[in-house]
Amino acid sequence: MRPRLQSSPRRERIESGVHPAARRTAAARARLELALGLLAEEDGIESAEQEITLAIDLLSRDLGTIDELRAQLDAREREIDEARREASRAKAQLLAMVSHELRTPLNAMLGYASMLSHGVGGALSPEQQHKAERIEANGRELLGVIEQMLELAALDAGAMTVELQDLDLGATVRDAIRSLEPSSSRPDLRVELVIDATVPRLRTDPAKLAKVVRCLVGNALKFTREGEVRVDVRRVLHGASIAVRDTGIGIAPEEQSRVFDPFHQVDGSPTRTVGGTGLGLASARRLARLLGGDITLESALGEGSTFVVWLPDDEARG
């Protein structure tokens, strides 16, 4: 009969830097190997049973350790999630406060600039009229940036609600594109809308969907100097899609995963020729997901980009 497995002082010294659970697992494996050897002997069955019992005891202790570690990990993950939610709420509150403090004086400035440009305080010279109009235009652009920041903060904090309505998807997209006509009326650029006759009526939030469409089409117009911007509205399985394709500059592969990040600019250099804050696409994707859908991107440098909005029907939304 073989002797039972014993731990030598040398073995203990070697294993002193190993986690206790790992040492127990190794010891259990060694005892099982010894048990297999004992089973081959005529009088080794009893000793083999003892070794197997000891191995099972060691492994049972490890299972308890694993369960304890898993519970600690779950608790830590809950703490991290709560910390993230709290940080998101704090960011939303800060942005709301700062934006309010900015909007109040800015609206007053816009009001005075409008009164000046309309001659409320007296007639202006052509140069003065031009400057007053520029003050108002730039002020409204700044106000738009503030509104985008507020919207993004509300989306991140989960503070934005959805008002579902039964709507004609094609008509909603057409109206959203028409609101961009001043920037789309260029002789070197075609804007085409194609609506599939089988597009279903959907229940979604028309105001938020219109924002998404205006963002994507406006973005395509901004980055397409000449060629075509095409919008395809089609039926898909369990919903509909809105594809916005352009023949613009395109987006490099390494940039495509970041274009939906807030404040990210594909060209962030001081010499970039296209303006923007990098908030539009971030807000558009969050709005699409709030509606139960998503936005995907396919692009290649020099070949243009295709942004696709996926919208679910009532069955897919559940």
Residue 227 has pLDDT above 70, yes or no: yes
Q: Of 10-14, 39-43, 68-72, 126-130, which range is least confident?
A: 10-14
Name the one residue in this structure whose structure tokens are 């009526």: 201
Q: Of 126-140, 207-221, 282-296, which range is least confident?
A: 126-140
Residue 10 has pLDDT above 50, yes or no: no
DSSP letter string, 84-133:
HHHHHHHHHHHHHHHHHHHHHHHHHHHHHHHHHHTTTTS---HHHHHHHH
- pLDDT computed for residue 42 by the predictor: 59
| Beta carbons of 308 and 284 less than 8 angstroms apart | no
Bigger pLDDT: 127 or 31? 127
pLDDT, mean over the chain: 81
Bigger pLDDT: 262 or 166? 166
| Beta carbons of 290 and 219 less than 8 angstroms apart | no
Residue 277 has pLDDT above 90, yes or no: no
Nearest to 192 by CA among 137, 162, 229, 244: 229
Nearest to 230 by CA among 248, 249, 239, 243: 243
| Cβ neighbours for 121, distance < 8 A, ≥ 6 positions apart | 115
How sure is the predictor about 28, in pLDDT bands with cuts at 50, 70 and 90? low
Give the residue ranges of DSSP H helices in the chain: 9-14, 20-39, 45-117, 126-156, 169-178, 181-184, 206-222, 253-256, 280-290, 314-317
SS (H, E, C) 162-202: CCCEEECHHHHHHHHHHCCHHHHCCCCEEEEEEECCCCCCE
Residue 188 has pLDDT above 70, yes or no: yes
CA distances from 288 to 60, 98, 310 (A): 49, 26, 8
Neighbours of 228 (CB within 10 A): 15
- pLDDT computed for residue 56 by the predictor: 74
| Cβ neighbours for 309, distance < 8 A, ≥ 6 positions apart | 212, 213, 216, 241, 242, 243, 244, 288, 293, 294, 295
| Dist CA 54 CA 35 (whole Å) | 10
Residue 217 has pLDDT above 90, yes or no: yes
Residue 268 has pLDDT above 60, yes or no: no
Bigger pLDDT: 212 or 26? 212
- pLDDT computed for residue 311 by the predictor: 95
CA distances from 55 to 212, 235, 244, 307 (A): 62, 61, 64, 59
Amino acid at 219: N
- pLDDT computed for residue 93 by the predictor: 76
| Cβ neighbours for 239, distance < 8 A, ≥ 6 positions apart | 200, 202, 293, 310, 311, 312, 313, 316
> Percent of the chain, pLDDT > 90?
32
Most confident among 90-94, 119-123, 240-244 (mean pLDDT): 240-244
| 227-236 sheet: strands from edge to edge | 189-195, 227-236, 239-246, 304-312, 294-300
Bigger pLDDT: 204 or 65? 204
How sure is the predictor about 2, in pLDDT bands with cuts at 50, 70 and 90? very low
Residue 241 has pLDDT above 70, yes or no: yes
| Dist CA 160 CA 153 (whole Å) | 9
Q: Of 100-109, 220-229, 245-254, 280-289, which range is least confident?
A: 100-109
37-49: average pLDDT: 66
- pLDDT computed for residue 272 by the predictor: 44
- pLDDT computed for residue 271 by the predictor: 37
Q: How do residues 156-187 score in pLDDT, each as one tens digit?
A: 777 788 999 999 999 999 999 998 886 667 78
Q: How do residues 50-108 score in pLDDT, each as one tens digit?
A: 777 777 776 676 666 667 767 888 888 888 888 888 887 777 777 777 777 888 888 88
- pLDDT computed for residue 183 by the predictor: 67
